[in-house]
Amino acid sequence: MKVTVLVSCLVSMMLVSVLASAEEGSGSTGTKPGSGHEFSLTGTIGDGAYFIDDKVYRGPVSLEVVPSVGWTWFAADFGVSTTLESIKIAGSHVGNWNTTFRPGARFTPPVTPLYLRAAVPLQVQRDNVDYGLMFGVGADFKLLNTIGLVVEADTTLSKDLEWGGKGVPVEFRAGLSFHF
Q: Convert the chain into a string of H (helix), E (strand) and C (coil).
A: CHHHHHHHHHHHHHHHHHHHHHHHCCCCCCCCCCCCCEEEEEEEEEEEEEEECCEEEECCCEEEEEEEEECCCEEEEEEEEEECCCCCECCECCCCCCEEEEEEEEECCCCCCEEEEEECCEEECCCCEEEEEEEEEEEEEECCCCEEEEEEEEEEEECCCHHHCCCEEEEEEEEEEEEC
Q: What is the pLDDT of residue 36?
A: 62
Domain that holds residue 76: 2-179
Q: What is the pLDDT of residue 111?
A: 84
Domain count along the chain: 1
Q: What is the pLDDT of residue 125?
A: 81
Q: What is the pLDDT of residue 7?
A: 40
Question: Torsions phi, psi of 11, nearest 5?
Answer: -65, -40
pTM of the complete model:
0.77
Q: What is the CATH number of the domain that holds 103?
A: 2.40.160.20
Q: What is the pLDDT of residue 110?
A: 81
pLDDT tens track, the chain, 180 positions: 444 444 444 444 444 443 344 444 444 444 444 446 799 999 999 999 999 988 999 999 999 999 999 998 999 999 999 999 999 988 887 888 899 999 999 999 988 899 999 999 999 887 788 999 999 999 999 999 899 999 999 999 999 889 999 999 999 999 999 999
Distances from the Cα of 8 to the Cαs of 4, 13, 141, in angstroms?
A: 6, 9, 20
Amino acid at site 89: I
Q: What is the pLDDT of residue 32?
A: 43
Task: Report the chain's terminal Cα–Cα distance, integer Å.
Answer: 41
